[in-house]
Every structure is written in C-alpha cells, then in structure tokens.
Structure 1
C-alpha cells in the first residue's frame, strides 16, 4: 500500500463543480450519465437524429404495409404501391377504377390490408388494399395518421398535443391529451395498444411511449424497423432482401429509380469545448498535484485538456498548461494558487465522437518524496525533479491500491454484473442451471457459506429448495417408518421374550414374504436383495422431498436434491395430488362421519356377504393415522 497522504479528489462535470455555460460550444451531455460528447449536427444538440428514426417513423409520404415489400407512396394525387415483380411502383387503382378523391394528399398509413390517407382536412380509410372505401373522417388540419391493431384510426393535427381515436366506421371514439413537448410529427402503434409518438420540440426530436419520454434503443426493442434507410428532398432508399442478400434500391418521389446518394459525412460537429468555473481548493498557495481523465476516444477523435492555476480570477492566455496529445494522466506544472480552471476541447471527424466520463483532480501535491530526509530536498531544482520522478511510481502504486481496495467488491454477489455470477459461483463450487434467473443465482451465492456449514442436513436442503424454487418442502426421513424393533406398551410373556408387543424385533416374517412364516396381506412381496439385510436397507439413509401439487418442476428439484444430498443417502421427490379427497360423492358434515367400524359379530356375518373383519386392538392398523406417517394433501387419500 502507498504511504503517501490521501489526496482530496474533485469530480468534475457535475452540479457541485459546474461549468461556465457561456463558454460551452458544440458539446452536449452534461446531464447524461454516459458523459460529455460532441453535439449532433444542426439545430438539435441533444436527442436522436431524423436519419436514426427513419426505420420507425418514415417520411409521411411513405408507409410500410403488409409484407416486407408492401410499401405505399404518395406521388402528387396518386397513391402508388411497391411492385417487386415489375421492379418499381404501380398505381393502387387502375386508370379506369381510380376514384379521383385525392386533392392534396399529405400523409399515408397502412396496416395489413387497410390504407389511410390524409387529404385536405379529410382522412380516407380503405379496405382490401384500396378496393373498398370504408370511411371518410372529417378532421381539420390533420397531418399525421396511424392504424391500430383493433381497427382504430389515430389522427393528430399540426400544433396540437392531442390524438383523436376513430373507429373502423369513422366515428369519433375519444380524444387523448398526450401532454408531450413539441408538435406530433409521427405516430406508431405497438403490441398491447401501445402508442409511440415522435415530436419536434424547438429543433430537437423526442420519442414518447404512452406519454412517457423514451429512447431509440427502447423503440428498437419494442418495434421491428422497416427497410427505409435514407430520405431527403430528392428521394428515398429501401433495403430489401434479394436472392443474393440484402439489396438497396433508391427512388425519387415519383417512384422512378435513381442512383444511391453518397453517404452522409457524419452526424456530429467536428469541434467543441467547455470551460469550468474557478475550482476553489480552500488552500492559499495550493500546489495542485495531478489530473486524471477517464474517456472513450474512438479512432479519428481526440480530447485535449488544459489547466491554469491562479490565486484569484486573473490569468493570461499564455498561462494555460495543455496536456500532450493522447495523455490522460499528467502532473500540474503550475505555480501555487488557490483556484484552478480547466478547459476541455473535443474534436472528431463528424462520424464519431469522444465521450468524456470524468476528470479527477488531486491536491495538494503529495508524493513519496515527503517521506525522504530533508537532506534530499535542499536544492529546489532537484526537489522538483524528485517529486515528479517519484510521482510516476506513486501513480502505479495507487492503481494497484485501487485494485486491492475494490477486490472485495468482486466477491459481493449483489454488486457484480450478471455475467460474472458463474465465475463467482465457480469459486464456491456451485453450478447453475440455465433456467435460473440472476436474482436466484445471487441469493444462492449469498447463502452458500451458511448452506455449506449445514450441508447434508434436512434444514440445509429445505433452504436450498426454497431459495431456488420459492417453495418450502417437507423433508420426510423414512428411517422413522421402519417396523423393525418397534416397542409397544405391552410386554409379552417370558416365553416370547424376543418380541415386544405384537411385532418381533427384526421380525423376518415382516420384512418380506416367506413361506410358512409370513402373513398374507400384511407382508411386502419383494424379489430382490438379501432378505437378511432388509432391516438395514429398507428405510435407512432414505428420505422423501414432499411438494405441493404443481408448484415447481419436479425434474429440476430432483437434480438439485441429487447435488445437495449426502453421498450415502438416497432421496426421492414427490408432488401431491389434488389435495385431501373424501370419497367421490361424500358431503363432509352432512352424511359423512369419521368413526371406527362397528365390532364384528361372529355367527351373524358371512364372508363375501357384506361381512367386515378387522384386527384386534393390538393388530396392524391400515388407513390414515394423523401425526404418524401421513402427510395430508401429499400422499394421503381418504375414500
């Protein structure tokens, strides 16, 4: 660990330090978590560009329809449809069938086999791809139209933040006030009656999803993009699938082919800069130590950082110290002063932008030279060289210290990314199944130390199943159900001292069927294993995991039980049925009573003629015995 004193650290680009808003040019993102970057070209320094939004919000004169090639185009007073077989565009209506209703069409929308066109305060709605005029909606100043999944028509007009819903017959259903910023210039509908709006607010484009502002990434995740790649005043381009891969075709606004336009030079400005306010150290004649820059600098971009130190707000342009190109960690070589001012300049080739995440300042100057004897620091020139020389090693040691300090965070299951969870589980000897989500994995890793201390116990197995599957099982150990060496209350006579009660100690006749000694109907019939080891192997080291019916996947529970159970045990998983079933036509409390059978009367009952024989008070019992071996609702059925 480094022995140098801890330096005070300021984090720039936040509301604590601040920047001079009057000295910001061509830079955006001060309130964005991603960082400061070059602004977009044009009047919109923030938000997406129109080119980015074209696949989801095309030009109003274009509309994607049914199928990958089902495009519609407004060309003058005509409505054209994309004809892939002819390689161009053809009118929707034949010359003799054109209804000639369109005067000045402004926008078109299509969904399935329905088409809607905005024209001179009216919205025409056709079915069967233009064969049947379904409705004519009167809507003053309508500019945008969209078709929803539930046969509804959404219409917005210029300068309004309201969207009107019309039914399939053209009747007004309701008016939705969106409360969005700017003018609505695009409408899209998604699954679950979701409405996506595109607005233009003082030169900036904004995306809204159900009245809440959204991003391009969220839009792309919710709606598939169309094949529209470019659109300008001269025409547009579509990317379509061909026999040899994707093919880009370009057309003018009359549907005639044209050459593909040259790609855009870029979307970002090429230069931008900002300057901070005076950063006060609170120390008179402070010796500022170090500047560290955290940024992403793609190829073709650069970041230049300059600092100047002063005791007050007076300094000259020649006092600025500029870091060498590509250097992101340098010492402040300035006279002592209380204040520091920082200037950052970003540049690029307009196709990409650098992103500045954080600039960190360390002060006052503190190096390992402070630990040297005074004899090594008598010469001012030599002392300055010693400080700068040792600062190189201090920086390396500080990075190592930072890694060591943050190492415990790598072992925190709540703090590591989801992708690191399998690596962290490997340190503990855990293995995950593909169906377990990140929360389940984090809980299992956090509980692993405690589970390892109790591994092999019913409590640990029950806790593991609860963490993974969210249910609490019943662990039934079968060793307590063995009928051998079962002590009863009555002691037999000395003549039969080998048995207590009515069951013999390790009675051979009770373990499996033996000719001449076993009782029919009361002895299990088995044909495998050594009969003499039945008292030890029948229930020893066996257990059952009892679950409620349909609660979890039984196969997944079996795999977990196999990994968590001790090696010498054998477990099984069993899920319950429909519950506690009383007969098939019984009404509990009306004509059903849980009572013992009446005692049989020998002499009046005949076998096979409705006669019931039952064992005596000390004989074997059958049926339900509550609290002994029965788990109601899991493996018990009373009928």
Structure 2
C-alpha cells in the first residue's frame, strides 16, 4: 500500500509489499506456484524435489558438471575421465579427446581427482587433499595447494586460485604457486556446488541447501547476495554445454554448414546425439489472495492491472470478487477476458476484494507475474461532468467505463512525462538506451566500448564539454575509455631553437647541438648557408621557423598494450581542437617496469662494461665495444623519469 498521507488509492501485490496469500482453515490457496519472495515474480513450480528452482539443467552452461570445464579457446574443453589417462582435452571442434600429456612426458598420475577448473592458459585439478595448478595448458606445474577436503576450485585474475572445501562456505585464496593469500567468508547458506569467477573480481557461487539451488554474487570487499539466473546470464557468457547425465554429456559445436550437437561418454568416447532435457514445469497452478481490505465501506473498486510475461504456450487467467463482509458465492466471481491483464472492476460496491490467478503452461516454459495493482475507489473524468449526465444509473455506469479508456491513456502519458527526467540519468537507464542518450549530447560510441565505459563518458560529458580542447579534457577522455592516464606531449614546448642548456657534466651552461649563430641548417638562405648543407624550401619565412615548426602539434603517449592504437587515434581526432594536429604513440615490445622486472632489485641501468682485449675470451670489436670515451665524455645509463620514459619511447634490447 502507498505510504502517502492521502487516503490510499491502490494496493500492490508483489515481492516487496507482499502477495497476501490465502491461509484459511480449508487449506492453502496456492498450488504449484512459487517465487513469492523473488523480485522477478511468481511462476509455475518445477516438477521434482526442488519446486522453487532453478533446475540444475538450466545452469549447466555456467556451472558445468565438476568433471568438465571449458578451456581458453573456442570449443576447448577439459574432461576428468574415470581411468588413466585421467585428464583429457578437446582442442578443436572435431575429433576425439586425447590425453592432456603425451605418454612419454606425462607427470605422476592423478590420485582421486574431484573436479577440474581452467582460466586462460592455467588448469587446476582438485584432488582429495590438494589442488594441482599448471600453466601453459598443462606444460608447466606452477604449484601444489594443500587443503583439507577440497571440492571446487576457480582461477581468478592476478594469478589467484579460489578453493572451496567440503562442509564449509569459506573460500580460501592462494597464488598459483601455493602461497596462501587469506580467506573470504561468504556467509551463504547451504553447500557450495559450483564456483566461478567473472569480470571485476566478481565471484559467483551455486549452493544447495537441500531444498533448492541458489545463485550468489559477491567478491572481496563486497558482501554476497542472492542473484537470479538472468543476472548470471548477463554477467557471464554461457558455455556450449547442453546437457549432462550419468551416461555422458552433449556439446553444441559449429559444423561446416550449421550448428551440430556432439555427445560423448564420461570416458571421452562419442555416442549418439540425444536431445537436451527440457526444464519441466507444472502444467497448471493457482494463486488465491486473502481478503484485501480497502478500509472504505461500500468501496467501488476501479481497476485491476497485472504486470506479467506470458510466453507462447502459456496463459494467465485473472478473476476477482468483491464483498462487504467477506462472504460470497462461486457465481459472484468476475473473470477477465482471455489474455486480458488490464480491466475494470464490474462488481457491486464492497469493502473487501479477493483475487485469483490461474497459471498454465506447456511444461517447458512458464508465465511470470511480477506485480498486480488494484486501484480504488473509482475515480474517472466523469466526475467533472455536470450532474445532468449522471442521473440515469445505467448511463452513468456506461459513461464511467467509457471515459476510463481515455483516463488510462492519459495516465500512461502522465507517467511517461514524470519519468522523463530519469531517462537522462546515465546510471539508471538500460544499456540499450545509452546510444540514444549519447545522441542527445552529441557523443558517438565505438562498437567495442562496454556499458560501463559508455555510462562513465555520459556522466563526464558536462565537464568534458566545458573544458574541451584542453589537455585535461583529452587526458580524461582517454582515461575513461582505456583505463590509463596518457602523457600528452605538446611539441611546441620542446623547441630546441637557440636554446642554451646545461652541459653533460652538469657544470653549468653549455652549448648543445643547436647553433646560436652561423650558417643555417634548417633551410637554405642566400649568403648564410653553404650549398648542400641546408634544405631548399620555397614557402614561409625562415625567421619564423623556430615559432612555427611545431606549433599546434601534440603527441599522446601510452604504455604498450594499454590501448588499441586505431581506436585511440579516432578518439584523439574527435577530442582535439580543430586547429591542432595530434598523433598517437604506444610503447613497443620493449622493457616494461612492473611486469617482470623491478628497477633497483634485479635490473640495473649502467654503461657498457670497459673492453678487455686478449685473455681467454678476447673481445671482438664491434658496435658494443668501447676503446675509450668519445669527445662527449663517458656514456651514461638511462635515468627513468628524467630523460627517458620506460614503456613509452624507450626500448631496451
């Protein structure tokens, strides 16, 4: 019920406000309908021991059987077979399941394997008392993790391994080499029967409390909460696993002309294809409310609206009855027309109303009722007409029902106008509305940008427009899209024309490679340049060269591998001022500080060693040999941050 200070004008039936289920002495009024505490709505129950669902077959594409896990490449799978060789791999969309390791280089045989997991090029096998982790798809054993009764493992980002043990909902965190990294207390009920990791260090759990399966979402620093299958499907792409039973499993694979179904036994041998098992729902179900009290004597109930998804092959039948004292006959029920989910109440005035829903399906799908709204008392635009139009009761009833059609349309328009400001909120609109909202602001999106990037750009659009054309705006746009702050090098600030700098030894002012006077080396000048020593240019003023050579030029620098260079170039072209020329540059495949090397720990930037002629290993003079210092003094090493930027324009090779 609404919590406004005015008299109530409607009642809601949903998961948040309650469904007002009937609990009379003659038994419950609900049969084969579940989901009263689920915000997605009520639906037909599953057949079997877990009527609440979801069924295990629905979740196989995201939580496969413990003996199966998808690999890093399309159609790649790992299979724990019952006998040696224990671990098999299917690497292409055709052929058999060969052993992961050839017979001549196989490691020690696995003992009592429980489950298998994979992510990228790492593979983990859970045994009864340990977890084995390999890199390079089984070519290198990374570490052995000791644990008490491990059952499930998941490989996360940053070389992390999550382990779930039997009888516990605590996740233990390790590195691939086996070093502990702490524990993560999930606090979820039941037993963990599935473990997955997703983007943003998100962890997905599948638990079984003996009555139903539940999906939970959480992560480090975030509490775990119950999630729906729709949220799981939106966050993680499904695998090609179609079905699994005690006889084997089936995969969906791309054939030469179409998609085919390939089925195998648990030993990896092919078997005849079998149709995937469909989720079985109860064919019919009913829901009956208690007496819903309007609080108004002789209340004229106005309208019933049912918010529902009704797939083909399913139906929802709605019926109501109104009474003043709660008593009624079976013939008093008003049943809505077939397929109608919005209708007017055609009942005598009464304080109480009871609603009945009957759901039906074909066994493979179910209707879902999210919400029911009951409007009262009856208020239409007929109240604004002169009394002369309402003297005849029959004509008055027709007029009210007729004008209610227009009132409903106008109410929908009013709600759209009220909600219009919410459509301008990037954080609240659906993903499909983001391109439309960007069109209003004059933004254009790349096809590869995800929804979070698009929302961040829309939220930052006012600040970007106010400071467009400045280095800050360009730097902020690149940071939002690619997740890394660039270095913007304005070439006009790096002019070396007629400039006195410090000498190499830091002893004071000294002349560098730029001439302060003398023959010109930038272009040919009669009487001032030697023939063949300066280029011929037939435009511009030679005296203005120091000011115009790099004017309105800038360069955007990013570390190697941080962004697609073509996408970065398109973004810079859209954000750069019209009178400027920008270029982009990403680091090469050289030295990257922080990935595999640590400056000052195991890496030194030093000059070349002095040459030693003769001896057991005489030095061969070439470009790496130095007999004596040159005219500019001894050669110095690289100073990170002073004259070089590691990963941007410096490459050590």
TM interval, shorter chain, is 0.5 to 0.7
What does 1:293-372 correspond to in 2, within 5 Å? 293-372=306-385
1:73/1:15 Cα in 2 relative to 1: closer, same or farther (>3 Å)? Answer: closer
In the alignment, structure 1 residue 380 sits paired with structure 2 residue 388? no
In the alignment, structure 1 residue 199 sits paired with structure 2 residue 207? yes
Q: CA deviation at 1:45?
A: 4.5
Which residue does 2:48 correspond to in 1? Answer: 42
8 Å Cα contact 1:294/1:358 also seen in 2: yes
Which residue does 2:246 correspond to in 1? Answer: 233
How many angstroms apart in 2 are the aligned matches of 1:33 and 1:124? 38
Which residue does 1:54 correspond to in 2? Answer: 60
Which residue does 1:252 correspond to in 2? Answer: 265
8 Å Cα contact 2:55/2:279 also seen in 1: no
User: Which residue of the other structure, out of 117, 125, 130, is the alignment partner of 1:116?
Assistant: 125
User: Which residue of the other structure, out of 153, 156, 172, is the alignment partner of 2:165?
Assistant: 156
How many angstroms apart in 2 are the aligned matches of 1:412 and 1:155? 40
How many angstroms apart in 1 are the aligned matches of 2:154 and 2:427? 45
1:217-258 per-residue CA deviation (whole Å, 9 max, x = no partner) reads: 665566665432211122211234444454322123344433
User: Which residue of the other structure, out of 263, 266, 285, is the alignment partner of 1:272?
Assistant: 285
How many angstroms apart in 2 are the aligned matches of 1:447 and 1:131? 49
Match of 1:274, SS state, is strand
Match of 1:24, SS state, is coil
Match of 2:394, SS state, is helix
How many angstroms apart in 2 are the aligned matches of 1:170 and 1:407? 54
1:327/1:65 Cα in 2 relative to 1: closer, same or farther (>3 Å)? Answer: closer
Match of 1:381, SS state, is helix
TM-score w.r.t. length of structure 2? 0.59
1:235/1:335 Cα in 2 relative to 1: closer, same or farther (>3 Å)? Answer: same
In the alignment, structure 1 residue 212 sits paired with structure 2 residue 218? no
8 Å Cα contact 1:303/1:326 also seen in 2: yes
Unmatched segments (≥5 aa) in structure 1: 1-5, 452-458, 472-525, 530-542, 564-569, 575-639
Match of 1:75, SS state, is coil
Match of 1:304, SS state, is strand
Q: CA deviation at 1:21?
A: 6.2
Q: CA deviation at 1:417?
A: 5.5
Higher-Rg structure is: 1
1:226/1:408 Cα in 2 relative to 1: closer, same or farther (>3 Å)? Answer: closer
What does 1:91-102 correspond to in 2, within 5 Å? none
How many angstroms apart in 2 are the aligned matches of 1:407 and 1:175? 46
Match of 1:346, SS state, is strand
Structure of greater relative contact order (alpha carbons < 8 Å, 6+ residues apart): 1
Unmatched segments (≥5 aa) in structure 2: 1-6, 24-28, 480-484, 486-536, 541-550, 559-567, 584-653
8 Å Cα contact 2:50/2:211 also seen in 1: yes
How many angstroms apart in 2 are the aligned matches of 1:379 and 1:285? 20
8 Å Cα contact 2:160/2:173 also seen in 1: no
1:322-341 per-residue CA deviation (whole Å, 9 max, x = no partner) reads: 10111122221111111112
RMSD: 5.8
1:328/1:75 Cα in 2 relative to 1: closer, same or farther (>3 Å)? Answer: same
How many angstroms apart in 2 are the aligned matches of 1:130 and 1:573? 46
Which residue does 1:27 correspond to in 2? Answer: 33
How many angstroms apart in 1 are the aligned matches of 2:262 and 2:165? 31
1:89/1:401 Cα in 2 relative to 1: closer, same or farther (>3 Å)? Answer: closer
TM-score w.r.t. length of structure 1? 0.60
Match of 1:391, SS state, is helix
Q: CA deviation at 1:96?
A: 11
Tell which deviates more after alignment, 264-273 or 178-187: 264-273
What does 1:465-544 correspond to in 2, within 5 Å? none
1:197-222 per-residue CA deviation (whole Å, 9 max, x = no partner) reads: 43212232233443624555665566
8 Å Cα contact 2:243/2:277 also seen in 1: no
Q: CA deviation at 1:573?
A: 10
How many residues end up aligned between the 2 structures? 497
How many angstroms apart in 2 are the aligned matches of 1:235 and 1:460? 60
1:101/1:271 Cα in 2 relative to 1: closer, same or farther (>3 Å)? Answer: same
User: Which residue of the other structure, out of 88, 92, 105, is the alignment partner of 1:81?
Assistant: 88
